[in-house]
Structure 1
Amino acid sequence: MPYGNSSNDPAPAQSRRHIFGNDAEQYDTARPGYPRQLLDDVLEFSALAAGEPALEVGAGTGKATLAFARSGVPVTCVEPDVRMARVLRRRCAELPDGSVGIEVADFEAWHPTRQYGLLYCAQAWHWVDPDVRWARAQAALSPGGAIALFWNHWVLQCGELADRLTAAHTRLGIEIPQDTLLDPRPRPARRGPESRQWREMTATGFVDPDHRLYTSVHERSTSALIGLLTSYSGYRALPPEPRERVFDRMARIVDEHGGRAHVKVVTSLFLGRTRAATA
């Protein structure tokens, strides 16, 4: 049986949200940040008052946190993994006191002591329990408060290289993990009102929905490309031996390709608001 996305997957999806903490430093090094224009758009949409804090769900190692905090927005971070939070604290140490508060907790069980004008979540909303996440967001936001959910989606620009890396998985009997660099499905798969995030958001009482896309291209060396693949939960969930075999084979292929690869990053942002208070 191939290794990968089967019913016998060694780390089912619901258990994977803590898998990134197994090597939080590697995750922090490998993952890219988010476009400056996205940050500006979120802040414009939320229209936070001066000094008004934002709430970040699943802050990880701070890929989005530092960008918001450096823009003058105080951030309360809720991060379920103590190992990721440790890296987050180190990265935020350079910021002025009071810029970032960190709570190590599952968002589903965390109880805010105030309401926020902005709740944002970078690359992590799918890890939050779908049965409660929207209600929990509503409870954490003030009337008229904004929600911003965003993800990076990656694709190799060179089709020949993608085909060779895909073939390496086939020869080794390893399924390509979903939502990764080599996943052949389009990402984002649906846009605007056709997307699941939009439908769920509006069905749970959020208004003024919007969906925006941002595109950038990054050059990665062989080691940096393998590092990105290593940071995916689907690869982390593979047993060590087949994982190392496929990484070794892919590294050789990229080296043969010239040791460089261009990765297109499409960042998908969903925006919405809670209903404003009525007079």
Structure 2
Amino acid sequence: MSLVFGEVADTYDDVRPGYPAGVAEAIRDYHGTTPAQVVEIGAGTGKGTSVLLRLGAPVTCLEPDPRMAARLAANLPQVTVRTETFEQWEPPTGGVPLIAAALAWHWLDPATRNRRAHDALTPGGTLAVFAHTYGYADAAQSRAIHTALRAIDPDVTDRPAGWFHLDITASGLFTDVHAETVDADLTLTTGRYLDLVRTFGPFRQHTPDEQTRALAAIGSLVDSFGGAIVLRLRTTLVLARRP
């Protein structure tokens, strides 16, 4: 699944929303200083990387899909891009001071992700995980969209906002686990919203026929809303420290 996004790398880069600039300030304040190095897991085309660069530290990006990695390197030539997974990456002796993941934590093996991150950090190092949860400003529109999606895929589910806060805390490997959220509204036309849907992992796992039916149903709904929909993005940042 980590390679399906490369099929829509240009669309992903164009339509996926970025992250609040304040994420970088929160990471720096928590870490206590500018880190000597940052390693980002699953960097994609650089949506989270752009925020991490505001820390003023060298950034190494792990991105296993070569098409996403190529777009990332073109967007942000100042970063080091390694076309490998977090599981394939060999951390330097002694670890790194800061590891980050932007909307990538769920792609890692749940049995090993916390242990790998812990072991790859220097003692006292920081883990920073952040992600968007896509909601809707209008409750009736939200229900209509979810009803349409479930008619095509009855098993579709959403992870609760901040689920990775519980995941990291429950591992028992980190101290001083802290979470904060920022909400923002984003208005998208029907076409832009359908482009966004095309970049979602669960959508990309379905057959072309199922994808076509889903896009038709959702497009008709958004058109009935006046040709636009307001997303309510909740950005959650979780910070944790290796003891």
TM-score by length of structure 2 reads 0.91
Corresponding residue for residue 86 of structure 2: 107
Structure 1 residue matching 2:145: 3-state secondary structure: helix
Structure label with greater radius of gyration: 1
How do 1:1-279 and structure 2 match up within 5 A? 16-49=1-34, 52-93=36-77, 99-114=78-93, 115-169=95-149, 173-175=152-154, 177-179=156-158, 187-188=160-161, 195-200=166-171, 203-204=172-173, 206-275=174-243
Give the residue type in structure 2 aligned to 1:83: R
Q: What's the offset of the Cα at 1:147?
A: 0.5
Distance 2:27 2:199 in 1: 26
Give the residue type in structure 1 aligned to 2:197: L
Q: What's the offset of the Cα at 1:234?
A: 0.8
Distance 2:12 2:103 in 1: 12
Distance 1:253 1:130 in 2: 35
Q: 1:46 to 1:175 in 2, by over 3 A?
A: same
8 A Cα contact 1:48 1:117, kept in partner: no
8 A Cα contact 1:117 1:141, kept in partner: yes
Structure 1 stretches lacking a partner, 5+ long:
1-15, 94-98, 180-184
8 A Cα contact 2:180 2:236, kept in partner: yes
Q: 1:101 to 1:48 in 2, by over 3 A?
A: farther
Q: CA RMSD in A?
A: 2.0
Q: What's the offset of the Cα at 1:266?
A: 0.8
Structure 2 stretches lacking a partner, 5+ long:
none
Q: Percent identity?
A: 30
8 A Cα contact 2:23 2:51, kept in partner: no
Q: What's the offset of the Cα at 1:64?
A: 1.0
Structure 2 residue matching 1:17: 3-state secondary structure: coil
TM-score by length of structure 1 reads 0.80
Q: Deviations over 1:151-201 (max 9, x none)?
A: 110111112222333343455x4336333xxxxx7x316696xx233212x
Structure 2 residue matching 1:198: 3-state secondary structure: helix
Distance 2:164 2:16 in 1: 24
8 A Cα contact 2:28 2:55, kept in partner: no
Structure 1 residue matching 2:181: 3-state secondary structure: strand
8 A Cα contact 1:149 1:270, kept in partner: yes
Distance 2:116 2:147 in 1: 43
